[in-house]
Amino acid sequence: MNLALTGDGDVYSWGYGDNGALGHEIDDMQGICDECRPRKMEVLKKINAGRRRKGKSEMTAIVHDISSGGQHSGMICSLLE
C-alpha cells in the first residue's frame, strides 16, 4: 500500500489493500481492493453523508501527515465544521 499527500492536502492511495486499508469502497466479497493507479481518498465521504441526512453542515479535513506500511495506514488531520 502506498499513500501520497499533495501540496493541496489531498491524499491518494494505491497498491494492494485488504479490509479497506486503501480507504476506497471494497468491490468484492473477499474485502480486497487492488488499485494500480493512485486514487484520491474521500476521507469524510461517509461521515458527511450521515451529517447531511441529519441536516448538519459538512465537515472538512486538513491533512497534516500520512504514514503507510505493510500492515498499517494512517493520517493525522484536523477536522473543521
In this prediction the pTM is 0.69
CA geometry: angle at 16 spanning 13 and 22, to 5°? 35
Q: For residues 45 and 20, what is the distance between their CA atoms, to the nearest angstrom?
A: 14
CB atoms within 10 A of CB 13: 22
Q: What is the pLDDT of residue 19?
A: 63
pLDDT digits (tens, 9 = 90+) for 35-80: 678 888 877 777 888 889 999 988 888 889 998 877 777 888 888 8
Report which of 64, 62, 67 is spatially closest to residue 79, judged by C-alpha positions: 62
Q: Please, is 28 exposed, middle or buried when counting C-beta atoms within 10 Å of its C-beta (0-12, 13-18, 19+)?
A: exposed
